[in-house]
Chains A and B, each alone.
Chain A
């Protein structure tokens, strides 16, 4: 349960970061800036994907625990 909450917390921070980066990408004034932000967005997306996988595992583990109790 603790791990699940921590993962959700990281996911929430990453989603906030992605939103801010997306907003910033609209304001980029030159191509270098735009490229840096786009690259940052890709990094965040990959981190989100990693967290998503881990969340799935944590969910499954919780499901297994519940089944075990039942």
Chain B
């Protein structure tokens, strides 16, 4: 293999020289494209598209034409990328320049009404609009409050309020995350740091494992705590029967969460009557908790950590 042939080209190249050229061009292109930044990959505007095609076309010549030098095309690609980076930089500095080079978002549907002028200007047909809406899981124009055509050519849709799914915020429900999901046992060994971080004791862990029918810690391949406090246990012996009786701890956690929620709502209540109801329910929840802990035994190691 002759490196001069690889880099400067020749009338004829050996197959090995073709392969090395391909690898060199590939590595050079990857390096240069990475310089352009993540934005280019995720938000392809019309300009980005043209730049990508130009780079591809230029980079193809040293791979298909043996007489072509490798340097000139790579230099050309570098110039195109530099121009694109300058373009991006100027766009970041000047809104006017950004709009000039990349275009600007256009409102296609506003207050549920199609903007015919904007459709004409963007050469959009109703069928094309419906196809884009369907991509956004919208199948009827009646569902749309606002639709914006982005410079990338994609349409983003805001559904009408009544069409939007109910969120946890709407229902004033918290995220339900009590613990950071972490392994408590790995290959028979207790991970004490994780146990401590979750505010749980070794005694609790062992009682949980026993409740699942696991008496020997060395038989546990992995035990992981979920966000809601459920312990997932996998033993080496997958045929060994396990009692999955962690439901009681979950019930107690739920009651504690309910108590916390009721306390919070009582503090937030605007009128005395509502506050009294929340306080009354909170007292009932506390009594319920006591009743169950008396029947099921002491589980304070778990509960302390959830408060």
Q: Does B associate with A?
A: yes
Interface string of B164-178 (1 = CB under 8 A from A): 000000111100000
Contact B171 A13 (CB under 8 A): no
Contact A40 B257 (CB under 8 A): no
- Which of A2, A13, A16, A20 is the most central at the interface, judged by chain B CB atoms within 10 Å of its CB? A13
In the complex, which residues of chain A have a beta carbon less than 8 angstroms from the beta carbon of B295? 32-33, 35-37
In the complex, which residues of chain A have a beta carbon less than 8 angstroms from the beta carbon of B291? 36, 39-40, 43
Contact A3 B261 (CB under 8 A): no
Residues of A within 8 A of B (CB): 2-3, 5-6, 8-10, 12-14, 16-17, 20-21, 23-24, 27, 32-33, 35-37, 39-40, 43-44, 46-47, 50-51, 54
In the complex, which residues of chain A have a beta carbon less than 8 angstroms from the beta carbon of B296? 33, 36
Query: A interface, by DSSP: helix, strand, loop or mixed?
Result: helix
A59 to chain B, nearest CB (A): 14
Contact A51 B251 (CB under 8 A): no
Contact B251 A24 (CB under 8 A): yes
| Complex interface residues of chain B between 271 and 285 (CB less than 8 A to chain A) | 274, 277, 280-281, 284-285
Does B49 sit within 8 A of A, measured CB to CB? no
Interface string of B128-159 (1 = CB under 8 A from A): 00000000000000000000000000000000
| Complex interface residues of chain B between 207 and 254 (CB less than 8 A to chain A) | 245, 247-248, 250-251, 254
Contact A20 B171 (CB under 8 A): no
- Which of B257, B270, B277 is the most central at the interface, judged by chain A CB atoms within 10 Å of its CB? B277
Query: Cα distance A36–B296 when bound, in Å?
Result: 9
Contact A23 B254 (CB under 8 A): no
B268 to chain A, nearest CB (A): 8
Query: Cα distance A29–B268 when bound, in Å?
Result: 42
Contact B281 A10 (CB under 8 A): yes
In the complex, which residues of chain B have a beta carbon less than 8 angstroms from the beta carbon of A10? 258, 261-262, 265, 281
In the complex, which residues of chain A have a beta carbon less than 8 angstroms from the beta carbon of B170? 5
